[in-house]
Structures are given as C-alpha cells and as structure tokens.
Amino acid sequence: MSSSSDEEEVYKFYRDRVEWNDVKPVPQDDGPAPVVQIAYSDKFKDAFDYFRGILHSNEKSERALELTQTAISLNPANYTVWQYRRDTLQYLKKDLSEEMDFLANIIMEQPKNYQVWHHRRALVEWSRDASKEIDFTAKIINLDQKNYHAWQHRQWVIQEFNLWEGELAFVDVLLEQDMRNNSAWNERYFVIENTTGFTDEITNSEIQYTMEKIDIATKNESAWSYLRGVLRDRSLTWSQELRDRVTTWRDDGLKSPYLVGMLIDMYEEDLENNKCDVEKTMAKVKELCHELAEETDTIRRKYWNFMYQKLNKQYGSNES
C-alpha cells in the first residue's frame, strides 16, 4: 500500500489532464469576506473545483464517477459527492458488487462516518441483496462493539430481509465477551420484541437470563436497564422470583446503586397498591434513599432526596 506522500507524488491535477479540458472548473465560493478562511490543499481545490464543474453540467460518465472517488478520498463525509455518485451509478447501470467492495474498504477506514453507511443502505435497497450484510456488520462490530452506525444498519437489514435467525446467538457471544455491552443488550431486546414478543414465558426466561448475568456483576447498569425494559408493560414486582433475588442480593450486603434503585421502585409499587406495611416500608425507603444520596450514588444526591421527600409526602409522616 502506498503512503499518502507517494499518492501526492503520483496525483495528476485535473486541470492538467487533457481529457478534462472541456470542463470548466467552478471555484469554491466562500463569500466576499469569509470570517475563517479554510486552507484547502491544492489537490482538494483542484478535485472539488472540477466536481462542481460536472455538478453544474450534470455530467454522468465514467470520468465523473472516477472524480467522485477522488473527492470522497479527500472528504468522505461530503453528502453531495455521495449522492452524485449514487446518481451516476444508477445512470451508468454499474455493477453494484464492485461498488460494495469499494465501499467496504472505506467503511473499514471510516467506520463511524454516517455517509458511508447511508450509501451502503442505498446499494442494498437497489440490489435487494443483503447476503453480505450480516457478516460485514459483525466484522465492524467486533472491531468496535458500540458502533452505532453498524448496529443501526444491521437492525435495518435484519428487519427488511427477515434475517432474525441466529441473531440471539450472536448477541449471546457478545455478552459473554462483555456483559456491560449496552448495544448488545439493546439488540437482544430488539430481536425479542420483533419476533416472539415478551410473552409471560419469554419474560420469565429473560428475567432468569439477566439475573444470571447480574449474579456475576451486580453493578452492571446495562443488565439492570434491560430488566426494566423487559418489565416495561408489566411492573417491577410482576415476577416474585426477581423480587426474591433482589431481596437476597440486598440481604447479602450488596450496595449496587442499580439494585437499590430498583428495590426503591418496587417499594413504591407496593405503596401504590396497598401491598405493604406503610410505616415499615417507608423506613426502608428512607434508609435506601439516604444510602444512595450519601454513599453510592452521590452524583444524583438531589434526585434521591427528592424521591424520599415525594414518597414521604404521599405515604409517610411528612417528617424529613
């Protein structure tokens, strides 16, 4: 692979190419008095001046396609260049498999560039060929398990082409590698919500699955958030098994702020539904809110003090 300095040496300016003599370059217009003048390189100005030239004439040709490739190498986040490249690809009826290979290399270098993923989605939509997308996104995710663009593309492909099979197994592998991978937990929820749904049986199974993960790392916020999502359409006290486990963890002396926060919310549900001794429950709420505010979640001290005051006003003696 040649270095950037080598590329600069072999680069031939479009203004010096005989085959481009018929194109009138259009210079960048930054206005009469730009506040901060951008110091474009000569190569950048040359390529984009000629790109604006073909854009003005609406030329769709092989040389225009080649020019967009040069422009993309100089600024891969330029939406106009990518859109013009798509228009040219369609006009020329190009082989999209070649374009996918070209694009894959750019994504490997620019994995968090929105425009490259938008272009890839457009290509898949045109070709209706998603055969490479699961493996390709998995490759990118393995490089960066929290790459939002890769996950977004993967979810679109799975939903658009009904490729749900094997996705939970993929998520399981990621969670085995990193239980704190919030993106993997989100994908697990996405798959279940769009396939089996959170039936009573599935909900109980997911509670069991998540409790096993929490047993290993009780301060894993991602797992606690997932539990709340699983129980979103029910209540936190819906599962007696979960309640018993949370109570056991607490009795064992665990002070995870996520565990304690859930226990407070469970007590709030008990108070709302008249399923507890109010005085004893409020005493527990006071103890737990104080622990969070002063020891384990001090950054949200005001919130936990507010929570206690709110519940005390509703159910307690109104004493601070």
Which of 97, 73, 68 has the alpha carbon at shortest distance from 83?
68
Distance from C-alpha of 120 to C-alpha of 212, rounded to nearest angstrom = 38
> How far are the Cα atoms of 64, 188, 258, 282 from residue 185, in angstroms, in the given order?
44, 5, 16, 33
- Residue 24 is among the residues annotated as catalytic for this protein: no
Letter for the amino acid at 56? H
Q: Report CA dihedral (296, 297, 299, 302) to the nearest 10 degrees.
A: -120
> How far are the Cα atoms of 43, 86, 160, 250 from residue 1, in angstroms, in the given order?
20, 27, 37, 58
Q: Angle at the Cα of 229 (from 154 to 260), degrees rounded to 5?
A: 130
Q: Report CA dihedral (315, 273, 219, 252) to the nearest 10 degrees.
A: 80
Contact indicator for 8, 43 with CB cutoff of 8 Å: yes
Catalytic residue among 24, 45, 93, 112: 112
Residue with tokens 């949370």: 246
Write out the catalytic residue numbers: 112
